[in-house]
Amino acid sequence: MKIIITHLLAILLATFVFVGCNHPINTDNKNQKTVTYTDDYGSTVVIPLHPQRIVSTSPAVTEIIFALGGSHLLVGRTDFCTYPSDALQITSIGGISNLNIERIMSLNPDLVISGSMIPKKSTIQMEKMGVPTVCVIEQKHYEGLYDNISKIGQLIGRTQAADSLNTVLRDRLAKLDVQTSSHPKSVYYVVGFGASGNFTAGGDSFINDIIRLAGGRNIAEGISGWSYSLENLMQQNPEYIIIRKEDSASFCNMAPYNQLDAVKKGRVIAIESSLIDLQVPRNTEAIQFLFNRLHH
């Protein structure tokens, strides 16, 4: 749980300046082999026009690359890059917080794409070792998913696939059986609980948007950040609790959480963590799943 909490906190705490791609890829020049790209840390990096050996240090990045049909380009991924299952066939470079740069270098990548958990100093270190490294950070709002898909599509040379995927996702969201209610169900999403403190997704997170799109009202929508007081949780006493599957039993059996109405009435929604914790195409599945549980 501590690793996941740290990952989510890093999404919010990571400070960056998003500049965008100031130099779009120009495929008209047949002799062009590189392009200048400005990443989410504001770093300007010269990257290959058509990378052939990519290492992903982010589960979200890995999933999006697969969704874009670029899995054949991946030569390395982290232990946490487990979706889709085919990703397990790709060489692992270890954890995220303790990035194994030597192992990454042994794979001879021509591009490394990192995420929010990778500190800027690590990307700078890899750059100094001659490996172009760019960072694609999770965005604060759900709509940012489309931007990240477009960025990754450009990075791996699959811009048309990215455009197509975004169209599919927008259409899928529009067709979801989700109705706006004048009285949305009050919801609390459990990120962390117990002696280490209580953590949830505040209003400035894409997770808050997922809850809203599913027809719920996040009781923590008024906070910025992830820390939430136990007193507020007990006082707000939300109608529904959303929690990762692996944490559900412990939460429901632990005092004082077992005194919440949502626990007593069996309104605890256990969800696969990667559907909601990562900013990925499967977020639409999370929205439909939550809607079904909140309104049926």
Stretch(es) of the chain classified as CATH 3.40.50.1980: 14-173, 185-295
Burial 188-203 (b: 16+ CB within 10 A, else e): bbbbbbeeeebbbbbb
How much is the pLDDT for 176? 81
Q: Which CATH architecture has domain 185-295?
A: 3-Layer(aba) Sandwich (3.40)
The yes-or-no verdict on residue 275 having pLDDT over 60 is yes
| Comparison of pLDDT for 96 and 113, the residue scoring more | 113
What is the pLDDT, as a whole number, of residue 295?
85
Inter-CA distances, 63 with 189, 219, 238, Å:
23, 30, 32
pTM value surpassing 0.85? yes
Read off the pLDDT of residues 161-199 as tens digits, 9 standing for 90 and up. Answer: 999 999 999 999 998 866 655 689 999 999 999 999 999
Quick one: pLDDT at residue 21? 39
CATH of domain 14-173: 3.40.50.1980
CA dihedral 228, 231, 233, 236 (to 10 degrees): -130
Residue 280 above 50 pLDDT? yes
